[in-house]
Structure 1
Amino acid sequence: MTAVLDPGTFAGSVYSGGWVAAHGGAAPIVEPATGAELGSTGVADAEDVTAACAAAAAAQRDWAAASFADRAAVLRRAGALIEEHADELRGWVTRETGAVAGLAGFAVGVAAQECYEAAALASRPPGEILPTAEPRLSLLRRVPVGVVGVISPFNVPLILSIRSVAPALALGNAVVLKPDLRTPVSGGFAIAGVLAEAGLPDGVLHVLPGGAEAGIALVADPRVRVVSFTGSSRTGRAVAELAARHLKRVHLELGGNSALVVLDDADIDRAVSAAAWGSYLHQGQICMTVGRHLVHESVADSYVEALSAHANALPVGDPTGEVALGPLIDAGQRDKVHSLVTSTVDAGARLAAGGSYDGLFYRPTVLDGVRTDMPAYANEVFGPVAPIVRFADAEEAVRLAAESEYGLSLSILTGDAMRGLALAERIPTGIVHINDQTVNDEAVAPFGGVLDSGTGARFGGSANLDAFTDSRWITMRGQIPEYPF
């Protein structure tokens, strides 16, 4: 089988009307588990972004004029190609991001499903008939916005890029995608290769890995009418401010510090299994990661003991082997995680498990006796750390869960699902899982957070229609009416 991507093809390049050199030079693509160089990427600058936006705007007109059947066919073929090349794509996700085999496989599966769901969007009714008090036909019609700018992060880049790229394309838009420089292949080049093979016309998709300069140029370019950003809350604020100055829509999926609430009637063995998955999957480098463990005081001691045993038993190492956790993305992220852990211990918390590292491999960590003002509880750690706070009753659990600047995902574990749902109604969050952990994702479900976690459900299902189209009001009369002047 021919590979979707050959590192020699994209070496030092960006994808913009084919593989071309970038004005910002080139940068190595480094495997975090080994430090090996996997290839090189071009580094886009503002000049590259401007040229790509102009080309995308020109190509979009013909793409929007294509039939819905043609656009859907491209997306269906892309989904099939992702499945056909699953082994190759899993390899890139694992080596580029440090994801273990299970998560890499999940990412590839979701990416294919995003394409299939996007294909179905193309044939959705493009509008509706509106009531009107006048003798006329009144219509609402959804139309493509034109060019969509997508900025995606390093952690699960295949999913976090394609969930915006695929629906935007299906609805008739062109896309300029800026993936993280650390993960340009699974965050963009692989998507470009798949869609090109699937028949996407030249110029409709551009992939420009780059830094802040490229991101600023993308948000500011007048041809980009919608920006879909996934990343930190700090950067998201800057993106939103810049987009507002240029009067364009921006969809923000930002950070999280999600709470997992363990009530006194929960099955502790199952709760600990779910909690370990929620905190340690992908080394905790997921926006939905369980960042705060709120545990009823009557079961807290057994919970801490069991979670610590889980953490100590989990193998950590090269994700190409049989391990549960791979490496953190780079030394900067590792040092941030370790600083939050050590400062929390210095503030009085007890290190029940972990708290150490070898290179970029950080041991899964449990912190007991945590207060809400301690660093590892109050901040998004983005690492494999489980801070535990005890509560006395349901009222305190609700207060603790709600006292956060974030509002992405929430888990409540209980023997009474209706009791859990009633508590969830009192906690601001974009996603709720009763009797499951916080990390869940399906292409058919709306996804997004509130408060500092973002601007609400902007991805998945029918939310994509609002995200990537404009609503146009159209009226038609049989003849021109007479007016009084």
Structure 2
Amino acid sequence: MTMPTHLWEDHLYLGKWQPSNGPKTPVIEPATGDKLTEVQTATVEDVERAAKIAKDAQLSWAALPFDQKAEILRRAAALLKERAEEIGYWNTRECGSIGPKADWELQATYEQAQMAAALPMQPYGQIFPSSMPGRRNYWKRLPIGTVGVIAPWNFPILLAMRSVFPALGMGNCVILKPAPDSAVCGGALMAEVLEAAGVPEGVFHVLPGAADVGEALVQHPDVGMISFTGSTAVGEKIGETCGRMLKKCALELGGNNALVVLDDADLEAAASSAAWGAFLHQGQICMQAGRHLVHRSVADKYMNKLAERATRLVTGDPWKQQVHLGPLINETQARRVEEIVNRSVAMGANVVAGGKRDGNFFDATVLSNVTPEMPAFGEEIFGPVAPITLFDSDEEAIALVNASPYGLAAAIHSASTERAQRFAERIRVGMVHINDQTVNNEFQVPFGGMGRSGSSGRFGGPANLDEFTTTQWVSVMEHGIQYPF
């Protein structure tokens, strides 16, 4: 399809489309290395401009009646569907998403918008009793002010808007910094959608840019909260800064998620879950099934079933052909996945399927004989690799799960759900899926991890009410009272 010229090629969305002195950055297609277009990027000065505009706009936005905020968010949801072809085009070409993944992400984002539209009408306070005669105690939620959202490139629309929509719904202004690799579909197109939906001028901003822009956003005193989804290393720095500034932050970070196959598991179902959890979107998902912990007695059968599924998967350019796996996001990431596989093989792992890189493409890969000392076990791979590690007892499997400092998601396969639930109670992860795979997301259920996978922040459902607000206690006495002095 032929795409029209857009304002984002030479303007920033600072509450409205405005020129900037920042550099223009090319948008490179990961499948081909071709330049698709270019985007106007922000500077540190633009962060200052956006923060001031947002601060000035926030009180009137918060005061807008709840039904009007809800209507704007519902219009945004409808516009996502109306512009699905264009959004899917950019998700495929800019981010390497296959069509079904792009379609699923758009639908999930639509659901997030619909959920957020319901937030403004929820109860926003409670009344507490008082030991003081005649006193009434009100405890209520208030907007934070301005929320900074720093989003990743792998699910650039969903993982941005799951924070943007509820933050707006709770009366905050929002400054979004999309990842440089997804500045169009994860940023500029969302500015167009929200502007067309009727978000008032000054309430929403999009600042694509380099690390200095994100750092300035985190450090700005008028930005009251940071919602960050991305790597643990960057998240730790953001958390340190927010802690020093006593600023609220929600950190959804990396994962090295275990898919556990017990000796009584349905191996066909387990292998199906494993292939989906390991290879979906080229494994570039924080919830990827990155460690396959398998009971020794069923390991060979499981390995063969998973390898058979892996070898059937087609890798290629998702814009030009129907494939299961598209490209990794860039050459740096592709080389990193290759290096993790090669180092693990050098330490004794075996390549059962795949293991080959061609430019930014990496075949679905199954590794056997992986031990805890190998990088394929200990590192977040973020590529289409399924490392298999053996265990002999539930106790050993629990220890292997908990050996990782990450704690985002896990899956457990067993014929006994009671056994699997006992297992789940002893592992330190934020989300456990029994007889399923690790990559699960439902907009109405709070989402988040433990350990190095997050700061105990949660996205989704009722958690959004607390995540994107602060609280205030107001006590009321009809008449003043006389204290002893």
TM superposition score category, shorter chain reference: over 0.9
Contact 1:75 1:115 in 2 (8 A): yes
Residue 281 (structure 1) aligns with: 280
- Shift in Å, 1:392: 0.5
- 1-side partners of 2:434 and 2:11: how far apart? 46
Residue 322 (structure 1) aligns with: 322
- Shift in Å, 1:78: 0.6
Contact 1:12 1:25 in 2 (8 A): no
- Shift in Å, 1:310: 1.1
Residue 260 (structure 1) aligns with: 259
Contact 2:251 2:457 in 1 (8 A): no
Contact 2:286 2:382 in 1 (8 A): yes
Residue 39 (structure 1) aligns with: 37
Residue 298 (structure 1) aligns with: 297
- 2-side partners of 1:100 and 1:417: how far apart? 34
Matched, 1:402 2:394: no
- 2-side partners of 1:23 and 1:434: how far apart? 52
**How high is the TM-score relative to the length of structure 2?**
0.98
Residue 339 (structure 1) aligns with: 339
- Shift in Å, 1:308: 1.1
Contact 1:446 1:457 in 2 (8 A): no
Match of 2:224, SS? strand
Q: For residues 413-440 of structure 1, give each alpha carbon's deviation from its aligned partner in whole angstroms, at most 9, with x where no partner exists.
A: 1111121111010000011100100001
Work out the number of aligned pairs and report it: 483
2:19 to 18, 21, 30: 21
- Shift in Å, 1:179: 0.5
Which AA in structure 1 matches 2:56?
A
- Shift in Å, 1:258: 0.2
Query: Which piece of structure 1 moves more, 147-156 or 454-463?
Result: 454-463
Residue 175 (structure 1) aligns with: 174
- 1-side partners of 2:185 and 2:105: how far apart? 10
Within 5 Å, give how 1:460-479 maps onto structure 2: 460-479=460-479
Which AA in structure 1 matches 2:391?
F
- Shift in Å, 1:13: 2.9
Match of 2:180, SS? coil
1:65 to 49, 56, 63: 63
Residue 459 (structure 1) aligns with: 459
> Unpaired runs of 5+ in structure 1?
none
Contact 1:12 1:27 in 2 (8 A): no
Q: For residues 333-389 of structure 1, give each alpha carbon's deviation from its aligned partner in whole angstroms, at most 9, with x where no partner exists.
A: 001000000000000111111111211110011110010110111100000001000
- Shift in Å, 1:83: 1.5
CA RMSD of aligned residues (A): 1.3
- Shift in Å, 1:7: 4.1
- 2-side partners of 1:349 and 1:92: how far apart? 38
Contact 1:139 1:473 in 2 (8 A): yes
Within 5 Å, give how 1:418-433 maps onto structure 2: 418-433=418-433
Match of 2:297, SS? coil
- Shift in Å, 1:23: 2.9
- 2-side partners of 1:160 and 1:291: how far apart? 20
Which AA in structure 2 matches 1:385?
V
Which AA in structure 1 matches 2:269?
R
- 2-side partners of 1:326 and 1:10: how far apart? 26
Which AA in structure 1 matches 2:459?
F
**How high is the TM-score relative to the length of structure 1?**
0.98
- 1-side partners of 2:95 and 2:140: how far apart? 41
Residue 205 (structure 1) aligns with: 204
Residue 373 (structure 2) aligns with: 373
Within 5 Å, give how 1:211-250 maps onto structure 2: 211-250=210-249
- Shift in Å, 1:6: 4.2
- 2-side partners of 1:71 and 1:414: how far apart? 46
Residue 307 (structure 2) aligns with: 308
Contact 1:96 1:182 in 2 (8 A): yes
Match of 1:192, SS? helix
Residue 385 (structure 1) aligns with: 385
Which AA in structure 2 matches 1:79?
A
Query: Which piece of structure 1 moves more, 29-38 or 100-109?
Result: 29-38
> Unpaired runs of 5+ in structure 2?
none
- 1-side partners of 2:6 and 2:169: how far apart? 30
Match of 1:73, SS? helix
- 2-side partners of 1:22 and 1:399: how far apart? 53
Match of 1:341, SS? helix
